[in-house]
Amino acid sequence: MRVTSLATAAAFLLGGALLASCEEIIDIAAPVQTVGQAFSGDTLRSPIKGTIAGRTAPYYMISDVTVNDGDTLLIQAGVKILVIGKPKSPGTFGQASNNPSFIVNGTLLSLGTKTQPVVLTVADNLKGDPTLVQDVATDPAFKGYWGGINADGASLLVLRWTDIGYVGGPYGANAPTGYAAGDPKIGVSMLAKKATAVCVLEDSYLHGSVDDMVRLQGCRFSVMRNRFEKTGKTGGEGLNLKAGCVGDVAYNTFVGAATNGSKVASVAASAVQSNVATFNNTYLNCGYRQTKSGRGGSINYEVQAAGKIYNNLIVNCRFGLRLRADSPPDVANIQYDNQYYYGGTSYQVAEFNAATAGTVTASKPGDTRGTAGDNDPKFVSADLMTTAGTTAAPNTAIQWANFLNPTTNLRLQGSSPALGKGTTAFTPLNAVSSLRVRGMFTPTSTAPGADAGAYQSGNVGNQQ
């Protein structure tokens, strides 16, 4: 299969403005950081467009909120949206009849900052203690209170410094094609219906999903410097990239994913082959809640996917890099090296190349691997002693080690052996580099780093 890039959009609509150039420059009316009319009131109503202005008091979401085709919704820094469901039916919140979603058929720009993130969440009394290590069967993070963001019909989705949690409410009887009643909704979905669809996720915190936290298909994308935690109850990926996805996955942390932190797949008949560069990410304790035999791990490429895989730090995961043997990726068009592995048990070490999961992964000269306990990456502060059980039966301690507690710090100490174990001798895909939302947003791509993982020397990389 020939590796194909998604063509740069010749034209697409954003808030009624027609674009027609090789560089996507989008004009939005002044003042800066405002689109159309500001939303007024406390409760979001559908359809919605314009600007949700930053303020101290929260906004409320009680039912589905739709951004129509051709419309733009801007969520400003500091906005907090509490999803509460139907006020008259609090007892059904999280059930099929009462788990609201954002439905985006136009453009959604959620533009938080480090000090003023956009927060999309549920009320505090529903969260319990987010720092408590607990059984996934009762953990509120996997309750699926609301439906997340469905941007399947969107032109553009941008989430920058956005906190999204407690998603995955079930579909009802009128579930869309591909889903059945009772199936959990995806936290952030762009199964693109538009050939020019673009998705950018930067510096965001995505936590608590019943199935996949993010699922993309048929779009150009960039997923940079995000933090994924508690993704998937008994199955599901942190980031699931399907046919026709072209872009970069870099400087993210994936902690405690049920299956893989990130997965890439294509299909033989796809007009655009999936082509994904996965580099400088940190994967910790991933793969232990997946109930299907041979599944679960860290990074997974399969079904004719192409790409580049470098500089990833894979620590105490159920399986290492997996190039799936029974449904293989486009191995001729995959380059990979310089993965840094740590396993605290002999069982974890034996699975660095996903041996029992079925893989064609080869050891590479730039890889770092050893026996149990070798090559401790020396995080500033992290528990690497939680036991794992076996491939067939991971124990509960590792199944519940699915988030970073307040004292955890995955930055590397100055004496870390993971420093300098990466390579910069490859070029990312930079699939969204032409995107400009004038006066509002420009994607910020971080180049490959010489250190393994998401945190680089000099405070470069992940800022979470």
CA count, 13 A, side-chain hemisphere, 195? 10
Q: How confident is the model at residue 26 (pLDDT cuts 50, 70, 90)?
A: low
Side chain identity at 302, as an amino acid letter?
Answer: E
Residue 57 lies in a domain: yes
Residue 4 lies in a domain: no
Question: Given a cut of 60, is residue 25 above it in pLDDT?
Answer: no
Answer whether 337's CB lies under 8 Å from 367's CB: yes
Residue 195 lies in a domain: yes
Q: What DSSP string describes 198-221?
A: EEEEES-EEEEESS-SEEEESSEE
Select from 157, 208, 181 the least CA-distant residue to 96: 181
Residue 154 lies in a domain: yes
Q: Identify the domain containing residue 286 by its residue range.
A: 13-461
CA–CA distance, 263 with 283 (Å, rounded to integer):
12
Q: What is the pLDDT of residue 12?
A: 34
232 by Cβ neighbours in 10 Å (0-12 / 13-18 / 19+) ranks as buried
Select from 246, 228, 224 the least CA-distant residue to 237: 228
Select from 137, 139, 145 the least CA-distant residue to 165: 145
Query: 72 φ, ψ to 5°?
Result: -125, 135
Q: What whole-number percentage of the chain has pLDDT above 70?
A: 92
Residue 5 lies in a domain: no
* Three-state SS at 14: strand
Count of structural domains, the chain: 1
- Which residues lie across from 249 on neighbouring strands? 223, 278
Write out the E strands in 290-358.
Answer: 299-302, 306-310, 313-315, 322-323, 334-337, 340-342
Residue 1 lies in a domain: no
Q: Per-residue pLDDT tens for 208-246?
A: 999 999 999 999 999 999 999 999 999 999 999 999 999
Secondary structure element (H or E) that encloses residue 72, with its range: strand 72-75
Q: How confident is the model at residue 23 (pLDDT cuts 50, 70, 90)?
A: low
User: DSSP state, 185?
Assistant: P
Q: How confident is the model at residue 24 (pLDDT cuts 50, 70, 90)?
A: low
Q: Per-residue pLDDT tens for 280-336?
A: 999 999 999 998 888 889 999 999 999 999 999 999 999 999 999 999 999 999 999
Secondary structure element (H or E) that encloses residue 104, with its range: strand 101-104
Answer whether 238's CB lies under 8 Å from 447's CB: no
- Where residue 16 falls (left for φ over 0; alpha for ψ -120 to 50; beta otherwise) is left
Select from 151, 128, 150 the least CA-distant residue to 139: 128
Residue 6 lies in a domain: no
Residue 3 lies in a domain: no
Q: Per-residue pLDDT tens for 98-133?
A: 999 999 999 999 999 999 999 999 999 999 888 889
CA–CA distance, 401 with 286 (Å, rounded to integer):
9
